[in-house]
């Protein structure tokens, strides 16, 4: 089972969340809602996850057993739902449809509240929501094409940010285009680097 950061995981009905400290989770979460894979050092047989609460500030970190995972919604899988989704009139969902009109040389997807809404149909979006995007980049990408992507984002009906996912972590595209030096988010914590496709500086 290929599970990666930002994937949404649907769990079996009898699944248990492990190592959750926040008390609100017991009242608000059920296996009818997905959890999101977060970046952390993987422990054998488990997946690091985050739980989304009803309030914007309610986020909890924990773990689930791999055998409790029933289905995976990857960010790139959710994009295809934008055009026909019940939230298709909202700015972030319209923006996804716009980006789909152009062919890109990489896999890309949607995360954050828009991805969660597309996966669940829960009303977590509003007209001023930001759009969080993810580009899969197992190899270094063409800076010129990334510049075109960034210019396209400026034409969207909402604010949009892109994370570039490398084999060693993720970084903000706008940082990389600005200076070439980025804060790479890794399983062991963030590190400042100008070599985000290498394990060490």
The tens digit of pLDDT for each residue in 74-132 reads: 999 999 888 787 888 899 999 999 999 999 999 999 999 999 999 999 888 999 999 99
Continuous segment of H or E residues that includes residue 39: none
Asked whether the beta carbons of 17 and 62 are under 8 A apart, the reply is: yes
Catalytic residue among 130, 144, 161, 194: 130
Of 136 and 56, the structure prediction assigns the larger pLDDT to: 136
- The helix (run of H) or strand (run of E) holding residue 115 is helix 112-120
Concerning whether 7 is annotated as a catalytic residue, the answer is no
Q: What is the pLDDT of residues 157-194, one digit of tens each?
A: 999 999 999 999 999 999 999 988 999 999 999 999 99
Pairing status of strand 59-65 against strand 46-52: antiparallel
Are 68 and 17 a contacting pair, CB within 8 Å? no
Distance, C-alpha 28 to centroid of its chain = 21
Verify whether residue 194 is a known catalytic residue. Answer: no
- Which residue out of 7, 68, 73, 132 is catalytically annotated? 132
């Amino acid at each position: 089972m290929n599970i990666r950061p930002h994937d949404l995981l649907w769990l079996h009905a009898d699944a248990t969340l492990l190592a959750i400290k926040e008390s609100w989770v017991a009242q608000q979460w059920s296996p009818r809602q997905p959890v999101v894979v977060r970046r952390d050092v993987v422990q054998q047989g488990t997946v690091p996850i985050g739980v989304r609460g009803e309030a914007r500030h309610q986020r909890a970190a924990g773990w689930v057993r791999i055998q409790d995972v029933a289905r995976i919604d990857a960010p790139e899988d959710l994009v295809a739902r934008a055009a026909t989704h019940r939230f298709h009139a909202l700015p972030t969902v319209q923006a996804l449809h716009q980006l789909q009109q152009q062919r890109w040389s990489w896999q890309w997807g949607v995360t954050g509240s828009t991805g969660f809404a597309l996966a669940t149909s829960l009303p977590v979006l509003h007209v001023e929501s930001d759009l969080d995007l993810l580009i899969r980049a197992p190899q270094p990408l063409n800076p010129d094409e990334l510049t075109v992507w960034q210019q396209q984002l400026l034409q969207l009906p909402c604010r949009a940010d892109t994370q570039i996912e490398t084999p060693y972590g993720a970084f903000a595209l706008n940082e990389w285009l600005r200076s070439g030096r980025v804060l790479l988010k890794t399983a062991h914590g963030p590190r400042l680097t100008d070599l985000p496709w290498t394990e060490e500086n």
